[in-house]
Amino acid sequence: MGGTGTLKAVLFDRDGTLVVDVPYNGDPRLVRPMESARSAVARVREAGLATGVVSNQSGVARGLITPAQVEAVNQRVDELLGPFDVWEFCPHGTEDGCPCRKPAPGLIHRACEALGVEPSEVAVIGDIGADLGAAKAAGARAVLVPTPVTREEEIFAAELVANDLWHAVELLLAVPEDAALSAGPAVRTGGNPTQGAPA
């Protein structure tokens, strides 16, 4: 497997990160990629890195969607942006105490095992604190791509914050791990580095 430095794989959150968040979506026809998602995922592959998706799907536990519907939506995401090398989702609710539900690290550990990489060789891109919490608990690096649902405190707590998916990928590929982790707020501002990025 190729890689850039010690980075060998990028794991994406699904809803609100790769695709527009439709709460408890079980309909593949409603899947819409986020802006720059296609180009960002393609950029990861061009760099020789593996790709994967780690997603909480508590709608299954709530009885709002079935595992088959989750798989159908995932398949549609694969058709639009994939194929991804690994898919992992948690069907449990917050009250279940599941070790795979983000911010627990189980989904990331499972994805790493499937890819044959260590968590330290993986980066996670997500839109909320649970994504970053799971990455930290697993020992992976993380980039936050805020959306309107991202809380202010989650943005403040994130070590790397990107304007969109393209910017997130560029941060991971361009900034050495040690520099990225020490940079903190320095990578958050400075205009709009994603202006003109591929859609």
Catalytic machinery residues: 13, 15
- The 3-state DSSP class for residue 192 equals coil
Q: Is 193 exposed, middle or buried (0-12, 13-18, 19+ CB in 10 A)?
A: middle
Residue 174 makes CB contacts below 8 A (sequence gap 6+) with none
Angstrom distances, CA of residue 172 to CA of 6, 10, 132, 143, 194 = 11, 9, 14, 8, 14
Closest-CA residue to 123 (of 71, 165, 153): 165
Going by their DSSP bridges, the two strands 86-90 and 141-144 should be labelled as unpaired
Amino acid at 191: G
99's enclosing H/E stretch is: none
What the block records as the tokens of 63 is 């009885």
79's enclosing H/E stretch is: helix 67-81
Closest-CA residue to 69 (of 30, 37, 41): 30
